[in-house]
Amino acid sequence: MSKKNIVTETPNVQGQSITEEQRAEEKQTKKDTDKFKENDKSKEKNKNRQNNDSGGKPSKYKSGDVLKFVRVRFPGNAKSFPFILEKRNFRYGQKVVAMSDRGMTVGYINSFPHNVHFNKSMLPIRNISREASQEDIEEQRSNIMKEKEAEVLCLNLIKKYELDMTLTHVEFLHFGKKAVFYFNAPNRVDFRNLVKDLVKDLKMRIELRQISVRDRAAALGAIGPCGLQTCCSSFLKSYGNVSIKLAKNQNLALIASKVNGVCGQIKCCVKYEDEVYTEKKTRLPREGEMVNLKNGDKGKVTKVHILSEKFEIMTDKGQIRRYECGLYDSKNKLPDNWAFPSSFDHIVNETANLIKLEKSEDANEKTSEGHAKDSGKEESKSTLAKPLSNTRKEESKKPEDQNRRPPSRRDPRDNKKPAEREARDGKKSQSQRRRRFRKGRGPNPAQKAQQKKKEP
């Protein structure tokens, strides 16, 4: 046997260590190549997403570019969608053909042109394909009539098959090539026979889409109890996710006519103020909690006013009082021996007066001393700065006595000179002059009797 064969059959320890290092290097190279491949795939995915968002092409706009947009509204949709204008000019209310979220349809321009700074969140940017011709408008009107006929047909078929579903509305898409039937149902519905009959009668593509009650209100549009257009049909992109817990958190009366909206579900606007209520509740006690306040009052919380940040408690002395949130501190615990009384001889309601957090006496004394010192310094400065004549005038201007009687009302005729007054009045006494009556009023009965006696 040759030497080479001997080496291969009985490899030494040094040869074994070399093969292990090679295996480790091979594993590392495989890991590195896998990482590079994953990075390349992720980059390709991001590029494809950008291309899909921008309509299959990389966006030609940079962040910060000023673009001119206009909003277009389509029939059967309460929302309007933004479209770029570029160099074209359209009038307000003009009918155009554009791609909506439900296909290519005829819509009308719902706003004036406005400039917007470009941002990647605006992708994909939609373009208006062309101005709507008279043929497009007539075709849209004919589709509206067909939608009503298809709705009646579908309702008859639902009664025929006794299906547990309510049809909301029908839409014809792609210029009458496809019909979509929207319906509500509490459970899943087997509508295979219904679809077969609709295809036979209408002879087009049929789609039945189950939607929620909120989606129906958003699609049709309505006026809410506030008198404005419903939020779901005007500006909300994601609506719903409102539970009864939010209404309870705000201490709302759980009455269906007040809490529920047009769709019969809890109003979406209940969610707007939930953060404010949760923040204010952290500074207030809970109803039914036993509290120990900073002013020493102890009792049971009976009512909480969240927005005004006030609360009422029944004290252990039988007094119902109202307090500010500053008097409550969750760290102030009640003593172990304290117990709330089970009954009271009499209960006094003192909620008309609000009890506020007062400053400590020491702080008040310090502030009063500081004010006195500051006022003394200001007086000394003023006396030194002013001349003697001004100081004398200030001394003469003393506050009047509070017990001094107010000046009596004088007759305006007394302001005239005595000689003129005597000549005019004929030297009559003041009591006789006061008896005169005003112009426009006749003499009283006593004066009439005196005049009759004087007459011969």
Nearest to 167 by CA among 177, 176, 158: 158
The answer, yes or no, to whether residue 10 has pLDDT greater than 50, is no
Please tell me the distance from the alpha carbon of residue 42 to that of residue 221, in angstroms, as a whole number. Answer: 42
Percent of the chain with pLDDT over 70: 68
* Highest mean pLDDT of the ranges 20-24, 205-209, 392-396: 205-209
Both structure tokens of 387: 């001349």
Q: What is the mean pLDDT of residues 142-161?
A: 91
Quote the pTM value.
Answer: 0.52
Q: How confident is the model at residue 43 (pLDDT cuts 50, 70, 90)?
A: low
Predicted confidence (pLDDT) per residue in 394-423, tens digit: 444 445 444 555 555 555 555 545 555 555
Q: At 390, is the pLDDT very low, low, confident or very high (cuts 50, 70, 90)?
A: very low
Q: What is the pLDDT of residues 348-362, one digit of tens each?
A: 999 999 998 876 544
* CA 132-135-136 angle, 5° bins: 45
CA distance 98 to 75: 12
Please say if the pLDDT value at position 201 is more than 80. Answer: yes
What's the pLDDT tens digit per position in 47-101? 555 554 444 455 678 888 888 999 998 876 767 888 998 888 888 989 999 988 7
Asked if residue 444 has pLDDT above 50, the reply is yes
**Residue 335 clears pLDDT 60, i.e. is over it:** yes
DSSP string, 99-130: EETTEEEEEEE-S--EEEE--GGGPSPPBEEE
SS3 2: coil
| Residue given tokens 């709705």 in the structure block | 151
Measured CA to CA, the distance from residue 66 to residue 114 in angstroms comes to 10
C-alpha span between 172 and 302 (Å, rounded): 59
Q: Is 118 in contact with 62 (CB distance < 8 Å)?
A: yes
What does the pLDDT read at residue 154?
Answer: 93
User: Which strands form 310-315's sheet, in the order they lie side by side?
Assistant: 290-292, 298-305, 310-315, 319-324, 348-355
- Minimum mean pLDDT range among 29-33, 175-179, 321-325: 29-33
